Each structure stands twice: as C-alpha cells, then as structure tokens.
Amino acid sequence: MKRIFFQLPLLLLLAAVFLSCEDSVEKPAMELLEEARKEYVAGNYNMARVIIDSLSLTHPKAYKTRRDAELLRREVLLEEKKRDVVFYDETLVSLMAQRDSLVQGLAYSKDSRYQDAGVYSASSQTMSLNPFNNFLRATVKENGDAYITSFYRGKRIAHKNVTVSSGDSFVSCSAPFLTRSYKERGVYNERLDFKYGSDGGIMDFVAASGGPFKVKLDGGSGAVEYTLRHDDVLAISHVLELAKVLKAIEETKGMSEEAKRALDFLQASQERSKAAREKEAAEK
C-alpha cells in the first residue's frame, strides 16, 4: 500500500509530462488546422489545401490533428469538385449560346451515309454559288475540326502549294491531306484540302487581318494568282471563330464529365468513411 502511495505522485508527474508534450505537439498543428477551416468556410479551397499540406509537413507527429486535417481535406476536395461542376455547366451554357449565334446565316449539310458529323460553311461559299470561281473555302465540322480548301478551275496547273499574302507578309502550305483533280467539259477542276493546324497558318492569317489578300497556286506544271474576295475573307473568319467555340464546347464537355466522375467518387468515399466512423462509434 505504501509502495503504491509513493508511486502515485510519480505516475501523476509522468502523466502531466506526457500531456504537456502532447499539447506542445498538437497545439501548433491545431492552430494551423483552424486557419484551414476558416479558409474552407470562406470558400478559399486552394488555400485551405495548402495549409493542410503545410500542417502535415511541419507537424508530422501531431497524429490526432493530422487525422482531423485529412477529414477536412476530403471536405475541401468535395466542395472543389462541386464548384468545378457548376463552373463547367455554366461555361457550357455560355459557349452553346455563342455557337447558336454564330451558326446563324451559315449553311449546314450532313450526309448520314458518309458523315458522322454535320458541316458548317458560309452561305456565300456554297458550291452552287461558285461553280466557276477560284477561291478558298472554309468549313467546320460539328466537333470543331476546321478545314480550308483551295478550289481552282481552268487550265491544268496541278498545283500543290497555296500561298496567301497581304502586303509584305505571307503564309504558305503544301501539305494537303486530300487532293482531287478531274476534267469537266474541257475544264480542269483541282481541289486541295488542308486541316486547320496543318494549313500553314492560312486561316489564322486571313482572320487576323482585313486584307486585301493575294492567293498564289503553284508547285505543279503552272501557276495562278488571284485576289481573295472580301466575302471569302469574312467567311473564313466567321467559320474559324465558330470552330474555336465548337472545340471549346468539346473540351468543356470532357472536363465536365471528368469533374462529375471525380465528384461521384468523392461522395461515395465520404459515405463509406461516414458509415465506418458510425460503426466504430457504435461498437465503443
């Protein structure tokens, strides 16, 4: 009995020292966690995550607070994904409104036998209105893939290069992904198709300036030069603007779907974690 009596103060002292050490470890970590909570409540999710990461690095032995911080991190990630989903949905609404405005006045065509996506082009550049013109025609698929096509009619030149110039500046392309040539009623028809991004910058060059532009076709057995009509300049600019909006729609849809998958995963993870904690509490 006496031995226990004499050991009691020592046990109390050891307990006090232990609690004091634990407090010195946990207290600064808890202060950081409280800062992270404030940022979370204010909607500053990125800053909240930065503070939580800092807590884990600077207080590795604050096990209790680090566990609470990890729970807060999950809440932060969940709210971030909710915000992302809302942002992408709102962005899609805005982009689709721009698309609907831009397609006004454009011609639309789709052959379900051969095409997965419809094609937009300026009404002024439909083939029925340009049976004998040499011109550059811009088209864009519904998925945002844009194309520039060189149409030529006349004496055979077998052109392979298209050069567009304005003043002292020019761009040129000689890498068509598709070429076609045929003779109709004694007149040669030549067509070169270039995809945007592999067009030597022709579409961007035309859209960035009002012109006037000269177009030179060469690289074969002959050469031809003509002035690009103002209507064609407007058409190329219009179609390129639509192409960029359509591409943005496709990209935003992809990011939205990814954010929604991540949100579903985080919500399911939270539910499992909550169920595990409730089970643990019930067993105690």
Residue type, 274: K
| Whether the predicted pLDDT of 41 surpasses 90 | yes
DSSP annotation of 224: E
Q: How far apart are the first and last CA of the chain?
A: 33
pLDDT in tens, 251-284: 999 999 999 999 999 999 888 877 877 777 777 6
* Cross-strand pairs, 178: 193
pLDDT in tens, 139-152: 999 999 999 999 99
Report which secondary-structure segment, H or E, holds 67: helix 63-102
Q: For residue 119, which of 96, 142, 103, 99 has the smallest C-alpha distance?
A: 142
Report which secondary-structure segment, H or E, holds 245: helix 230-283
What confidence score (pLDDT) does residue 185 get?
81
C-alpha distances (whole Å) from 203 to each of 48, 142, 208, 211, 240 are: 45, 18, 9, 12, 7
| Local confidence band at 81 (pLDDT 50, 70, 90 cut-offs) | very high
pLDDT in tens, 84-137: 999 999 999 999 999 999 999 899 988 776 667 889 999 999 888 888 889 999
pLDDT in tens, 115-127: 678 899 999 998 8
pLDDT in tens, 172-231: 999 898 999 988 888 899 999 999 999 999 999 999 987 799 999 999 889 999 999 999
